Structure 1
């Protein structure tokens, strides 16, 4: 039953990200809830389904593939603050390139989080899954985190292509001139430099989210996150 639940959870999670758009449900929900309302509802449902997939992977039969090393746990703890930062500063930010961003209020000369990367939430998912893939050497978690890693990397290409087609090449080029897909690429190339301090509210949410994740990881997930 463990493998059946795990497979079902994965299928439902993946379908929730493909079926609404293919069936026209996404457009109808956006008209009914508004763009922001749809993003909020979609994010909540996705989070609940993600927890189900994680719990189902933990309940699947344990098939060891490699032993866990100390450096792998350190890698997770080094990456996770960046993952949380990308989520906190990317969600509902002025960023017309990402599905979690707002289309209003974007300034191409001061692109904010889009200057760091145009796809902060998908990079957060890729870093989270890649780091946890290293630290979990069993079959169920290899499937789980490997799929999420592939899903997030493929998602970047899909979202970029759709947003470019929707905006038009010229408008995209003007809006994206100080941004980059790879994190820090625009900064390294000199096309973007941060010109203002991050929002204090988002900074507080970042710190509190990291502290909550650290504190609740053992009682909720069942694994102590420390090295």
Structure 2
């Protein structure tokens, strides 16, 4: 469990720099330059992500049950996950969706986390998904008092919404049918 916690601290800590101290982030960016700053950010994020994946796998070998969700919540979770990939795609293909939602990636992270908390009641699940949910909520609240960072996107076009929805739903189906089993080792739908 310690590896998972360390990974969460590193990954979410790096992604919380703007939440905690926006002026420090700007000073660091100016001092290091954009390339080294983004390189360091990416390297630390990758280390955190690797530790999260490794730690989650280790924690699954010695599970601690916190709560046992009823089986029907798996269906609710699958339904909540439907908009997650379209929202993620709309982050980079701006249109009406991203304009209406304002922060589609954060909404996607919150839906992803809530869905997984509904369907999983082990300590390692609550730690992983609860941490991401808390981070996304705090980040969204903090965006009200700070300026967001520009995300590289394509130009805003009406067709981007269709791309986000169709592309996102295709990714969702691939995840449900194959990728989740391959990456995580757990089939979301038992056939």
**TM-score range, shorter-chain basis?**
0.7 to 0.9
- Structure 2 vs 1, CA of residues 92 and 32 (structure 1 numbering), >3 Å: closer, same or farther? farther
CA contact (8 A) 2:90 2:98 kept: no
What does 1:137-176 align with in structure 2 at a 5 Å threshold? 137-163=121-147
Distance 1:51 1:209 in 2: 22
**Displacement of 1:18 after TM fit?**
3.2
- Structure 2 vs 1, CA of residues 76 and 48 (structure 1 numbering), >3 Å: closer, same or farther? farther
1:39-93 per-position Cα deviation (integer Å, ceiling 9, x unaligned): x996897577446424422321311111232221112211112111110112352
Structure 1: stretches of 5+ with no match in the other structure: 94-110, 167-195
TM-score, length basis structure 2: 0.74
Q: Which residue of 2 aligns with 1:135?
A: 119
CA contact (8 A) 1:132 1:145 kept: yes
TM-score, length basis structure 1: 0.63
The answer on 1:5 being equivalent to 2:3 is yes
Q: Which residue of 2 aligns with 1:222?
A: 185
**Displacement of 1:223 after TM fit?**
0.6
Please say which structure displays the higher CA radius of gyration: 1
**Displacement of 1:204 after TM fit?**
4.2
Could you say which structure has the higher helix fraction? 2
Structure 2: stretches of 5+ with no match in the other structure: 150-157
Please, what is the CA RMSD of the aligned residues?
A: 3.4
Distance 1:124 1:29 in 2: 31
- Structure 2 vs 1, CA of residues 120 and 221 (structure 1 numbering), >3 Å: closer, same or farther? same
